């Protein structure tokens, strides 16, 4: 049975836990519709970070004093919370600075393996080595963070970067995918949810294609983790990454999930303290994951804050969040579709979607359109949302994106839709599209 | 006038819709400026008088938000007006004007552009209250500045 959407009273209760929602912007109550860029933080997260810094801060995984022990425990508890959230083992959870670093970690690790030297000369690394003739497959709708690291990896190794094209309706061309993913494919890196259209990627079609040829499957889950239950093992992906700050957690922390046997064999990315077993002046041996990928002093208060964020969304229930968003997505799309002169990017994609829509207002640049919303206290994102190729595919350079969060109400969406309807009139353009 | 109306004054709307000075020709020495955040682009040329001492004309082409496009159009208009009045800018005068423009736009509403010096471009004063839009308004002026710096470098 599907979970019940959150009631209005429940959403009000959730809103009360986000202190920033009490403020005004330009004389209006803040309507925050930019959660896809960064989510706001509930008291629980702000308090968890602050309490840690006030009472438990110390260097973790080194030193033997009591406070260091407490801090280490808090840090590892955070890891355990995230592992439980994902339904994976604790040693499969690596903390990074952000999702971008997590994706670069994988790409650089594969690059080191491909070099065959240094940590890449370890026999375990050979299976990750890429060479000319190998192919890395991404999609045309990736965020730059899940595109450029692979472009660079391809350039360093001689491998070829290919991409699954986007159809006119904004969904992936699955027929093309079936011919692109083949014997030469070594890596498939794909987003779980598009940060421009909000469409959910049909992983059930793509992952088996990659599995059939033994390719490494990397999932960018930044836009899905806050909205849908995220179970990497059920999705059958090898690696999944997401950022803390989009999940109501702190900035400066991201998560990389990887299957144990892969992570323990992959060459490290960054090198230094806390990741080694034995170091001589000539040579070093590395710890298994997760320490293998966590050199330097880790992000302590951020990890603790992220764990608090995860407990917060778990308390609400990801299945109920998803059910609520399903309703919000329909209201947002229907409302925007009725505004004359507004084009919703990827509106006709039949795939399920999260409550997010990017629009182009005919005759008005996205920057100008966003200004009209800002004037009413509505925070929305304008620009290419770090997805220039997808915008180019849609034939536009920028769009205005409205993205809901756990605290978004239907009334807020209605205010935003009303403000969108006021954009063309403000700029002296008539109803309906310009010829 | 609301903040929004101050930002989008009629002069700005008009220049955005019907820009002046967009007659850039092939082969002119140009500066190309881009705002990577929103994709605004301006390619601009300074045209010098016969003696090569003063700016006779500003030509440009570009795409982007109404603030970036209007600002380029207003700069071109101002150059044309000054030249028509026999007061075409020297490089030093334009450099000083650009610095003044930047200072006002970065002032968060504290400094208004002087209408005597900026003409209709003074309508861009309202941008200074919108930190995120200052770069849009600066784009054409930064292109002009880039060309002046290049010219000074070549001359020394």
CB within 8 Å: B65 and A26: no
pLDDT > 70? residue B5: yes
- Cα dihedral sign, A80-A86-A91-A97: negative
Task: Quote the pLDDT of residue B106.
Answer: 96
Domain tally, chain B: 1
pLDDT at A325: 93
- Fold agreement (A8-41+317-426, A48-314): no
Closest residue in B to A26 (Cα) is B3
Number of helices and strands in chain A (H, E): 15, 17
**Closest Cα in chain B, distance from residue A356 (Å):** 19
Instruction: Judge: B64–A382 Cβ closer than 8 Å, yes or no.
Output: no
pLDDT digits (tens, 9 = 90+) for A315-361: 999 999 999 999 999 999 999 999 999 999 999 998 899 999 999 99
Is there a contact between B45 and B28 (Cβ–Cβ < 8 Å)?
A: yes
pLDDT at site B104? 97
Predicted pLDDT of residue A430: 76
Which residues of A are the active-site residues?
Answer: 386
- Per-residue DSSP letter, A296: S
Q: Is A2 helix (H, G, I), strand (E, B) or coil?
A: coil
- Angstrom distances, CA of residue A274 to CA of A105, A284, A286, A289, A425: 17, 12, 9, 11, 60
Q: Could you count the other beta carbons within 10 Å of the beta carbon of residue A272?
A: 12
Q: Could you report the per-residue pLDDT of B32-55, keeping only the tens digit for each?
A: 999 887 778 999 999 999 999 999
Q: How many C-beta atoms surround the C-beta of residue A358 within 10 A?
A: 34
CA proximity to B57, closest of B8, B32, B21 = B21
Confidence of residue A409 (pLDDT cuts 50, 70, 90): very high
Taking alpha carbons only, the member of A33, A61, A9 closest to residue A300 is: A61
Q: Mean pLDDT across the stretch B81-89?
A: 95
User: Residue B19 pLDDT more than 60?
Assistant: yes
Give the Cα separation of A213 and A135 in Å (integer): 12
How high is the pLDDT of residue A130?
98
> CB of A372 within 8 Å of any CB in chain B?
yes
Contacts of B139 in chain A (CB under 8 A): none
pLDDT grade, residue B1 (50/70/90)? low
Give the confidence band of A431 by pLDDT, cuts at 50, 70, 90: low
Q: Are strands A31-32 and A28-29 parallel, antiparallel or unpaired?
A: unpaired
- Cβ-based interface (< 8 Å): residues of B facing A: 2-4, 7-8, 13, 37-40, 63-67, 130, 133, 136
Which residues from chain B sit within 8 angstroms of residue A367, using beta carbons? Answer: 38, 40, 64-65, 67, 133, 136
Q: Is A397 in contact with B63 (Cβ distance < 8 A)?
A: yes
Q: For residue A381, what pLDDT is reported?
A: 96
User: A48-314: which CATH architecture?
Assistant: 3-Layer(aba) Sandwich (3.40)
Which residues have a Cβ under 8 Å from the Cβ of A424 and sit 6 or more positions away? Answer: A340, A341, A361, A362, A363, A364, A430, A431
pLDDT at A2: 76
Q: Tell me, what's the pLDDT at B38?
A: 73
CA distance A188 to A207: 8
**Length of chain B as a residue count:** 156
DSSP, res A170: S
Q: What is the pLDDT of residues B131-153, one digit of tens each?
A: 989 999 999 999 999 999 999 98
Q: Exposed, middle or buried, A372 (CB in 10 Å: 0-12/13-18/19+)?
A: buried
- pLDDT (mean) for B87-116: 96
pLDDT greater than 90 at residue A63: no
Q: What are phi and psi of A272, to 5 degrees?
A: 160, -145
Q: Are A78 and A92 in contact (CB under 8 A)?
A: no
Confidence of residue B129 (pLDDT cuts 50, 70, 90): very high
Question: Does A61 score more than 80 pLDDT?
Answer: no
Closest alpha carbon to A31 in A352, A311, A383, A379:
A379
Full strand arrangement of the beta sheet holding A342-344: A342-344, A356-361, A399-403, A381-383
Q: Considering CB atoms only, which of A26, A365, A384 is closest to B64?
A: A365
**Residues A361-387: pLDDT tens digits?**
999 999 999 999 999 999 999 999 999
- Tens-digit pLDDT profile for residues B20-31: 999 999 999 999
Which helix or strand (DSSP H or E) is residue A256 part of? Answer: strand A254-258
Q: How far apart are CA A417 and CA A332, in angstroms?
A: 7
Give the range of the structural domain holding residue B90, as residue numbers without chain letter: 3-155
Could you report the per-residue pLDDT of A153-180, keeping only the tens digit for each? 999 999 999 999 999 999 999 999 999 9
The tens digit of pLDDT for each residue in A69-121 reads: 999 999 999 999 999 999 999 999 999 999 999 999 999 999 999 999 999 99
Coil, helix or strand at residue A79: helix
Q: Do A367 and B38 touch, CB atoms closer than 8 A?
A: yes
Q: pLDDT tens digit string along A269-306?
A: 999 998 999 999 999 999 999 999 999 999 999 999 99
Residue A162's nearest CA partner among A193, A178, A185, A141 is A185
Contact: B133, A371; criterion CB under 8 Å: yes
The CA distance from A331 to the nearest CA of chain B, in Å, is 27
In sequence order, the β-bridge partners of residue A356 are A403
Cα dihedral A203, A206, A211, A214, rounded to 10, equals: -130
- pLDDT at A435 exceeding the cut of 60: no
Say whether the peptide bond before residue A180 is cis (omega within 30 degrees of 0): no
Q: Does A371 touch chain B (CB under 8 A)?
A: yes
Contact A367 B67 (CB under 8 A): yes
| Residue A59 pLDDT class (50, 70, 90 cuts) | confident
User: Would you tell me which CATH number, out of the four given (3.90.1300.10, 2.40.50.90, 3.90.1150.10, 3.40.50.300), belongs to the domain A8-41+317-426?
Assistant: 3.90.1150.10
Average pLDDT of chain B to the nearest whole number: 94
CATH of the domain at B101: 3.90.1010.10
- Determine whether the interchain pair B4/A372 forms a contact, defined as Cβ–Cβ distance below 8 Å: yes
The Cα–Cα gap between B113 and B75 comes to 13
- In the stretch 414-433 of chain A, residues with CB closer than 8 A to chain B read 426-428
User: In chain A, what percentage of residues exceed pLDDT 70?
Assistant: 98
pLDDT digits over A199-216, tens only? 999 999 999 999 999 999
- Residue A344, class by beta-carbon neighbours within 10 Å (0-12 exposed, 13-18 middle, 19+ buried)? buried
| Strands annotated E in A304-380 | 342-344, 356-361, 378-379
Q: Is the pLDDT of residue A1 over 60?
A: no
Q: Output the CA angle A17-A20-A22, nearest 5 degrees.
A: 80
């Amino acid at each position: 049975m599907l979970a019940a959407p959150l009631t209005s009273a429940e959403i009000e209760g959730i809103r009360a836990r986000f202190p920033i929602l009490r403020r005004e912007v330009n004389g209006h109550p803040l309507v925050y519709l930019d959660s896809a860029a960064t989510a706001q933080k509930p008291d629980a997260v702000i308090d968890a970070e602050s309490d840690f810094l006030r009472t438990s801060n110390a260097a973790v995984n080194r030193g033997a004093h009591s406070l260091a022990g407490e801090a280490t425990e808090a840090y590892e508890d955070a890891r355990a919370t995230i592992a439980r959230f994902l339904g994976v083992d604790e040693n499969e959870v690596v903390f990074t600075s952000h999702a971008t670093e997590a994706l670069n970690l994988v790409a650089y690790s594969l690059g080191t393996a491909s070099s065959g030297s240094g940590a890449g000369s370890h026999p375990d690394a050979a299976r990750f080595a890429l060479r000319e003739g190998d192919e890395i497959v991404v999609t045309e709708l990736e965020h730059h963070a899940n595109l450029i690291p692979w472009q660079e990896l391809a350039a360093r190794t001689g491998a070829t970067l290919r991409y699954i094209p986007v159809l006119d309706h904004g969904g992936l061309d699955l027929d093309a995918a079936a011919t692109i993913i083949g014997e030469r494919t070594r890596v498939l890196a794909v987003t779980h949810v598009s940060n421009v259209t909000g469409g959910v990627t049909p992983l059930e079609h793509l992952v088996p294609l990659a599995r059939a040829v033994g390719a490494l499957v990397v999932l960018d889950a930044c836009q899905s983790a806050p909205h849908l239950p995220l179970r990497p093992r059920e999705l059958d992906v090898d690696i999944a990454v997401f950022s803390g700050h989009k999940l109501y957690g702190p900035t400066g922390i991201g998560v990389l999930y990887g299957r144990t046997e892969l992570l323990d064999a992959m060459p490290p990315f960054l090198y230094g303290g806390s990741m080694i077993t034995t170091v001589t002046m000539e040579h070093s041996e590395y710890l298994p994951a997760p320490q293998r990928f966590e050199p330097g002093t880790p992000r302590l208060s951020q990890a603790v804050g992220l764990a608090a964020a995860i407990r917060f969304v778990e308390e609400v229930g990801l299945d109920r969040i998803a059910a609520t968003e399903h309703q919000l997505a329909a209201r947002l799309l229907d409302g925007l579709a009725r505004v004359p002169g507004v084009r919703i990017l990827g509106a006709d994609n039949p795939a399920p979607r999260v409550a997010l829509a990017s629009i182009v207002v005919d005759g008005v640049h996205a920057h100008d359109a966003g200004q009209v919303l800002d004037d009413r206290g509505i925070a929305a994102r304008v620009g290419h949302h770090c997805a220039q190729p997808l915008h180019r595919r849609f034939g536009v350079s920028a769009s205005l994106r409205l993205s809901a969060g756990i605290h978004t109400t239907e009334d807020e969406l209605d205010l935003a839709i009303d403000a969108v309807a006021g954009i063309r009139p403000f700029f002296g353009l008539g109803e309906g599209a310009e010829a | 006038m609301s903040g929004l109306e101050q930002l989008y004054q009629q002069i700005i709307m008009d220049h955005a819709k019907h820009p002046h000075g967009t007659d850039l020709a092939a082969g002119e020495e140009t500066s190309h400026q881009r705002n990577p955040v929103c994709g605004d682009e301006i390619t601009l040329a300074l045209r010098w008088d016969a003696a090569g001492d003063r700016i006779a004309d500003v030509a440009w082409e570009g795409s982007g938000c109404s603030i970036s496009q209007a600002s380029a159009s207003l700069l071109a208009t101002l150059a044309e007006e000054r030249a028509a009045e026999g007061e075409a800018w020297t490089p030093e005068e334009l450099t000083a004007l650009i610095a003044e423009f930047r200072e006002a736009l970065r002032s968060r509403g504290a400094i208004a552009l002087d209408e005597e010096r900026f003409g209709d471009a003074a309508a861009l004063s309202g941008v200074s209250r919108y930190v995120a839009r200052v770069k849009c308004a600066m784009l054409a002026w930064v292109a002009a500045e880039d060309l002046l710096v290049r010219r000074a470098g070549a001359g020394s």
